[in-house]
Amino acid sequence: MKRTLVIVAAVVGFAAAASAASLSVVSTNTGNVVTNLFTVGDTIVLRTTGDAQGGSDNAIHGELTYNGAITNTISGSQSPPMYVNLGFQFLGDGLSVSFDQNSGSANPSAPAVNPLVTTITLVATNAGVSSVRWGGELLDFFDIYISSGGFAAEPDLTSFTIVPAPEPTTAGLIGLGLIGLALGGRRRS
């Protein structure tokens, strides 16, 4: 019986130790509904969610790239907040730091905050398709690490499509005009 308990405990221990960090990115609308189809003028929210699953690290960093020709970057936020004066959130069209926490020399033993949720808010300005990938210098999130040389082979994290805003059709406008003329003519007689 003791031997069985020791084996079960070892298996559970190895299974727990083998857990790896997870990091995902999705595009949502302002209602937090996951979608990849937007209309010009819509707000697009890129949500990064990370879970170290027990890992520890004293610096994490990740930059997202997307099509800045069809979007304008509005804002970014991170929860929990980044270390005071040590992390930063740089927003630019087509590239945003999704997360950056570096305890650095100020407190080298402080672990990075986990779990991590960040949002980057964009406005759809033009029709088109955008792939969202990790880009910039590097991705470093607990045991997930990719140097700048590895990004070309990285698959898209997510993508979104922006379609033109629907406009009234000419036939619809003509129909409304004819209805107006008919009602106007009816009132006169």
Question: What does the alpha-carbon distance between residue 173 and residue 166 come to, in Å, rounded to a whole number?
Answer: 14
Domain that holds residue 107: 19-182
Evaluate whether residue 79 is within a structural domain.
yes
Asked whether residue 187 is assigned to any structural domain, the reply reads: no
Residue 94 lies inside a defined structural domain of this protein: yes
pLDDT in tens, 44-80: 999 998 888 877 777 788 888 899 999 999 988 877 6
Q: What pTM was estimated for this model as a whole?
A: 0.71
N-to-C CA span, the chain: 101
pLDDT value, residue 44: 96
Core vs surface per residue 19-57: b (16+ CB within 10 A) or e:
eebebebbbbeeeeeeebebebebebbbbbebbbeebeb
Q: For 113-130, write each residue's pLDDT tens digit.
A: 677 888 999 999 999 999
Using an 8 Å Cβ cutoff, are 163 and 37 in contact? Answer: yes
Instruction: Name residue 85's beta-bridge partners.
Output: none
What are the 10-residue block averages of pLDDT along the chain, 189 residues in total? 39 44 90 95 93 78 89 85 58 85 57 79 94 81 69 71 79 74 70
Domain tally for the chain? 1
Residue 117: what are its φ and ψ, rounded to 5°? Answer: -135, 120
Instruction: Indicate whether 5 belongs to any domain.
Output: no
Asked if residue 109 lies in contact with residue 59, where contact means CB atoms within 8 angstroms, the answer is no
In three-state secondary structure terms, 36 is coil
Residue 189 lies in a domain: no
Is residue 132 a contact partner of residue 64, using CB atoms and an 8 Å limit?
yes
- Residue 11: inside a domain: no
Q: In CATH, what number is assigned to the domain containing residue 51?
A: 2.60.40.740
Residue 31 lies in a domain: yes
Looking at the domain assignment, is residue 95 inside a domain?
A: yes
